Structure 1
């Protein structure tokens, strides 16, 4: 039963990331003029940018072919993530991680299909130094990846130790 519950949780998290991303991008597209920037906090601006590339605007100016390429990558990654979530030997932490990454991948893929590019709207900066703008889908992907790395570094050993103690 625990497995079924963590599978449902992973897909619920994916759906939550997709919904939150769609809602926030919809608000930004409707309210914030394209290309504008509004200071919200001393280290945070709300912007409206379109990214035709991937993370850090990789391949942004590649001429248009990258749209279908990134849609294909997101589709393949999403299928693999669904498989990994449903895999019997995936841990709860891995499933949660995969769910967050899946939600981000699907959300950005939907944006590429619907808008031709991904809406980025969060601009974090310190003085004149700006981190590349991002969105809720990117937060889901980053949180999922960070959780997966933390689990691999720290959690997997503990889980194996617990399993060995239970067998002894």
Structure 2
């Protein structure tokens, strides 16, 4: 294997590892904790709390009907996966930060899609809070998506723009002699 094959294998590995660890951690939480059980890890800051989120990020659309959510999330997931694959395909091969970031986002999107297909909702368990102020619970897939997006934003913000070379002056014009 050379060149593009190795690079594509690395990107597929990033995506696959995100999916693997996302699903492994969710399975562990479901097998070892009761729904809504919370285990403090760092008091007043971080707990493992097993919840199921039928909605989108931050519980949006959680009150909608199951049929609406399945159609909505099915269509948006397909759109997002096609978009991410297109972005990944069109990114320059030398743009490693961008490509690995998109591969992590893709893995996270697939991890949460697997939950929606299997359970009709997403398994969340990472609970960050200060006293009684909680950030919405999240999971490994959400973390990969967030970190991937942050890396992309920072990467594109500081990326040096390469200007295309200036077109050579037209030297093919005829010189008339009088």
TM-score range, shorter chain: 0.7 to 0.9
Aligned to 2:56: 54
How does the TM-score come out when normalised to structure 2? 0.83
1:19 aligns with 2:23: no
Question: Aligned pair count?
Answer: 161
Secondary structure of the 1:160 match is: coil
Q: Relative to total residues, which structure has the larger helix share, 1 or 2? A: 1
Aligned to 1:105: 109
1:69 aligns with 2:77: no
Q: Which runs of 4+ in 1 moved over 6 A?
A: none
Aligned to 1:128: 132
How does the TM-score come out when normalised to structure 1? 0.87
Secondary structure of the 1:120 match is: strand
**Cα–Cα, structure 1 residues 153 and 5, in superposed 2: closer, same or farther, change >3 Å?**
farther
User: In structure 2, how many angstroms separate the alpha carbons of the residues matched to 1:146 and 1:4?
Assistant: 27
Aligned to 1:142: 146
Larger Rg: 2
Task: Tell which deviates more after alignment, 34-43 or 85-94.
Answer: 85-94
**Cα–Cα, structure 1 residues 3 and 12, in superposed 2: closer, same or farther, change >3 Å?**
same
- Displacement of 1:136 in angstroms is 0.2
CA RMSD of aligned residues (A): 1.9
Whether the 8 Å CA contact 1:3–1:92 is kept in 2: the answer is no
Unaligned 5+ runs, structure 2: 166-178
Unaligned 5+ runs, structure 1: none
Whether the 8 Å CA contact 1:6–1:92 is kept in 2: the answer is no
Whether the 8 Å CA contact 1:49–1:119 is kept in 2: the answer is yes
1:45 aligns with 2:51: no
Aligned to 2:157: 153
